[in-house]
Chains A and B, each alone.
Chain A
Amino acid sequence: MSASASRRPLREAPMRIARRSVLAAGTLCLLSVRPSRADAPPELEAAIRAFAEGKPVQSGRVTLEVAPLVENGNAVPIAVAVQSPMSDGDHVRQIAVYNEKNPQRDVVVFNLGPRAGRARVATRIRLATSQRLVALARLSDGSVWQHSVDVIVTLAACVES
């Protein structure tokens, strides 16, 4: 009797550890599966990296102007402005826009030069669903700058069946 009572805690101890480690592992799994909000989704990240051509992508200088709530995804007005003197020595060479969830990541690429006078472009785009948009700018010194905006779309563009 006394022998079995003293044996029980010994037998339970490894079980308790096992249960705890299973719970801990489960929590770790949940944490790793949940995407972090700061990072761009992989496909969008790849598009940004391809544009940057190995240069670090810095935040700032670029402003992507788009309504945070879009009613019609078939024609969404966007504008991209870059802080730049647009002189011969310091100007914006390229402005590109990428999206997260359309069938294709590319949206539009603008090529500018010192004769553009002002680094501001505007167009109208399609958005298949609520998603993140990223505007990137390549300056004459080779540096790459970005600004991303999350957009909610109530009526999606007919990009697929």
Chain B
Amino acid sequence: MARALITMPATAKRGDVIEIRTLIAHPMETGYRRGDDGHVLPRNLIRRFACRYDNEIVFSADLYPAVAANPLIVFSTRATVTGALTFTWEGDNGFAQTETALLTVT
């Protein structure tokens, strides 16, 4: 399991727009670089990120080699109901990770 950081408020008023920052430890190897032995390092990327909240994907992203290592993704969502936000990262070599964060809506 890669280390993932999710920064967002724990509580919000209904209708408020909250900012969510996600960071995950991942090399994002482009497949264009050569190692010390001169061989091309095999591509190893996170290809897709999605945030699910209140039974719906509220935000998603397609990542390409030009995204820096340890991808940071900052986005927003509108607080609707108290519940869990589910974050998923999927990529090469069967990489898949899911994290959840609770949001209390008042």
Chain A residues engaging chain B, CB cutoff 8 angstroms: 74-76, 79, 99, 102-104, 106-113, 115-118, 120-127, 157-161
Contact = CB atoms under 8 A, between A and B. Distances in A.
B59 A108 contact: no
Nearest to B80: A115
B66 A110 contact: no
A75 B69 contact: yes
Interface size class of B (residues with CB under 8 A): 20 to 34
B104 to A, nearest CB: 17
Interface of B: 17-19, 30, 32-34, 53-54, 56-69, 71-78, 80
Given A107-B67, A117-B17, A120-B76, A158 B61 contact: no
B68 A118 contact: no
Given A108-B64, A115-B80, A124 B72 contact: yes
A75 B68 contact: yes
B91 to A, nearest CB: 14
Contacts of B30: 103, 126, 159
A118 B56 CA distance: 17
A108 B69 contact: no
B60 A115 contact: no
7 contacts: A74-B68, A111-B61, A112-B75, A116-B76, A117-B77, A126-B68, A159-B66
Interface pairs A-B: 7 shortest CB-CB: A117-B17, A117-B78, A122-B74, A161-B34, A106-B64, A118-B76, A124-B68
B34 A104 contact: no
A139 B22 CA distance: 25
A66 to B, nearest CB: 13
A74 B69 contact: yes
Contacts of B68: 74-76, 123-126, 157
